[in-house]
Amino acid sequence: MNKQKVLDKVAKLMALANSAGATPNEAETALRQARALMRQYNLEAVELIAHAVSESSIPTNTRRSPKDWLHSLASICASAFDCSHIAYFNQVHGWSFKFLGKGISPELAAYAYSALHHQLIAARREHVAQQKRCQLKTKRRRGQLFAEGWLNAVATKVAQFAGAMEDSTQQEIKAYLDLHHPDLKQISITPLQAKGHDTGSLYAGWAQGSKANLHRGVAQAQVGALVYGGGQ
């Protein structure tokens, strides 16, 4: 029996041991069997706690470290579904984001990221194309400001319905990170300062992002409402 299957079995036994519907004898037996398996396979308590965390990854399609606005988008999608996220490098797919949470939440967060990323890229490209008679570096700066404004608007909408992550989920995700990603580094995101005519790009991004209709779904079929202009 591989470790994953052992962890699955131990988790089920622990759930039975803590079930309100279990008889004292059933609870005691389940707990004894769970502890025996943990001793037999040298399992640590942190492994069992981390086992409760689900994950879903999505590539950023770049072999360079993700831009700040990609991190912001991933953070927004994680918040929408009570998840955490990390960025990591995959030798095959390049940089990817991994969403961590309970149940299908990470899958929904990844799906939302994909949908919103597609819409943001299209809106940003259209805005940059409208920037006439300016240098390439100016177009790039205005494109970044547009993206930041767009994401700020979407983040405001998410804040209206995103709940606080439960303490138990935070502890489980921490155990997962300590076990599987012990060398993670936190990054800080500094917004680009808008000056002069560049402020128009920031406002344009906010206006477009405000059109995104955001609804927190409970099944993957409902997460389509997260796409730009796609809610009911």
Euclidean distance between CA atoms 105 and 81, whole angstroms = 6
What confidence tens digit (pLDDT) does each residue in 16-38 have?
A: 888 888 888 888 998 999 899 98
232 confidence band (pLDDT: 50, 70, 90): very low
Please check whether residues 124 and 10 belong to one and the same domain: no
> Which residue has 């012990």 as its token pair?
182
Residue 143 lies in a domain: yes
Residue 231 lies in a domain: no
pTM for this model (two decimals): 0.81
Residue 232 lies in a domain: no
Residue 75 lies in a domain: yes
Please check whether residues 83 and 148 belong to one and the same domain: yes
Burial class (CB within 10 angstroms; exposed 0-12, middle 13-18, buried 19+) of 211? middle
Residue 49 lies in a domain: no
Please check whether residues 108 and 38 belong to one and the same domain: no
What would the mean pLDDT of 112-129 be, rounded to a whole number?
Answer: 91
Please check whether residues 124 and 150 belong to one and the same domain: yes
What confidence tens digit (pLDDT) does each residue in 157-210 have?
A: 887 767 778 888 999 999 999 998 988 888 888 888 888 888 999 999 999 998
| Cα-based distances in Å from 102 to 3, 43, 82, 99, 182 | 20, 21, 8, 10, 20
Residue whose C-alpha is closest to residue 88's, from 59, 115, 108, 109 = 59
Residue whose C-alpha is closest to residue 42's, from 13, 15, 6, 8 = 6
Please check whether residues 78 and 115 belong to one and the same domain: yes
Please check whether residues 73 and 104 belong to one and the same domain: yes
Contacts for 100 with CB less than 8 Å, ≥ 6 apart: 53, 54, 55, 83, 84, 85, 86, 106, 173, 176, 177
Question: Quick check: 225 pLDDT over 80?
Answer: no
Identify the pLDDT of residue 214: 63
The count of domains in the chain is: 2
Please check whether residues 197 and 177 belong to one and the same domain: yes
80 confidence band (pLDDT: 50, 70, 90): confident
Output DSSP code: residue 132.
Answer: -
Question: Quick check: 62 pLDDT over 80?
Answer: yes
- Structural domain span for residue 24: 3-43
Give the β-pairing of 84-90 and 94-101: antiparallel
Please check whether residues 133 and 34 belong to one and the same domain: no
Residue 74 lies in a domain: yes
Identify the pLDDT of residue 141: 92
Residue 130 lies in a domain: yes
Please check whether residues 38 and 61 belong to one and the same domain: no
Please check whether residues 110 and 199 belong to one and the same domain: yes
Residue 195 lies in a domain: yes
Please check whether residues 130 and 181 belong to one and the same domain: yes
Please check whether residues 84 and 13 belong to one and the same domain: no
Identify the pLDDT of residue 223: 46
